Amino acid sequence: MSDTEVTNELAEPGKGDASSTSTEIRSNKIATNKVVGFHYRLAEVSAEGEKGEWMEQSHGGEPLYYLHGFHNVVVGLEKALEGKNIGDAIEITLQAEDAYGARQQNSIQRVPIKHLMLASGSKKIRPGMPAIVQTDQGRRNVVIVKVGKFNADVDLNHPLAGRILYYEVQVESIRDASAEEVAHGHVHGAGGHHH
């Protein structure tokens, strides 16, 4: 299950001349400085190799957009998407080191509750809840470990750290990134970051 299975949609033979078709395909491949939109489903894989229930999926909503080559998605997924075209689908199982990394021991940190960003609709902070904390290195996904009156202890490991993950991905769109997106290292506008 660790192999990547890929389905490609290729241009039909005899449609247009060979040089224009190969140029068109080449320009639409996922590569550095391309903005990619994709739908995905994600499940955890047990130590025995059994795929669990779907934990996350984007189908039925907007695709996920990222700037290729800037590690805006997990490294193993970014590598697997390199060179793919619109319409391609992949299924891939990623070990922890190619996904969210191994769990780091001693990664509990106390932060003021006012610095925690909770999922919309969440009013009361409880242990086990995911949250986001703004750090010097940007936003970090954390898990609440303990809650006090003014502070909370959070686990700085990503909630999916140390897990083997299975992805099903369908490439929906590919476009050239703007100079501003490349300079900032992430997607802007619809599906991306707003400044």
CA dihedral 58, 91, 170, 97 (to 10 degrees): 60
Residue 191's pLDDT band (cuts 50, 70, 90): low
Query: Is 168 part of a structural domain of the chain?
Result: yes
Using the predicted structure, report yes or no on whether residue 195 has a pLDDT greater than 80: no
Contact of 122 with 129, CB cutoff 8 Å: yes
Long-range contacts of 130-138, Cβ-Cβ distance < 8 Å, separation of 24 or more: 130/159
For residue 69 the two structure tokens come to 């080559």
Using the predicted structure, report yes or no on whether residue 21 has a pLDDT greater than 80: no
Looking at the fold, whether 139 and 178 belong to one and the same domain comes out as no
The domain total for the chain is 2
The average confidence (pLDDT) of the chain is 84
For residue 180 the two structure tokens come to 């501003």
Percent of the chain whose pLDDT exceeds 90: 64
pLDDT at position 193 is: 56
Cross-strand bridge partners of residue 176? 34
pLDDT by residue (tens digit) across 67-114? Answer: 999 999 999 999 999 999 999 999 999 999 999 999 998 899 999 998
Identify the residue with better confidence: 123 or 99: 99
pLDDT at position 158 is: 87
What's the helix, strand, coil split of the chain in %, to 5? Answer: 15, 40, 45
Query: Is 195 part of a structural domain of the chain?
Result: no
Looking at the fold, whether 68 and 142 belong to one and the same domain comes out as no
DSSP string, 131-172: EEEEETTEEEEEEEEEE-SSEEEEE-S-TTTT-EEEEEEEEE
Q: What is the CATH number of the domain that holds 33?
A: 3.10.50.40
pLDDT at position 189 is: 76
Percent of the chain whose pLDDT exceeds 70: 83
| Mean pLDDT (whole number) for 154-165 | 93
HSE, side-chain direction, 13 A CA sphere, residue 2: 6
Looking at the fold, whether 89 and 69 belong to one and the same domain comes out as yes
Looking at the fold, whether 117 and 150 belong to one and the same domain comes out as yes
Q: Model-level pTM?
A: 0.72
pLDDT by residue (tens digit) across 28-39? Answer: 899 999 999 999
pLDDT at position 124 is: 85
Query: Is 191 part of a structural domain of the chain?
Result: no
Looking at the fold, whether 129 and 70 belong to one and the same domain comes out as no
Which domain covers residue 116, as residue numbers?
Answer: 108-155
Contact of 67 with 185, CB cutoff 8 Å: yes
Query: Is 189 part of a structural domain of the chain?
Result: no
pLDDT at position 190 is: 62
Residue 27's pLDDT band (cuts 50, 70, 90): low
Q: Can you tell me the distance from the alpha carbon of 79 to that of 69, in angstroms, rounded to the nearest whole number?
A: 9
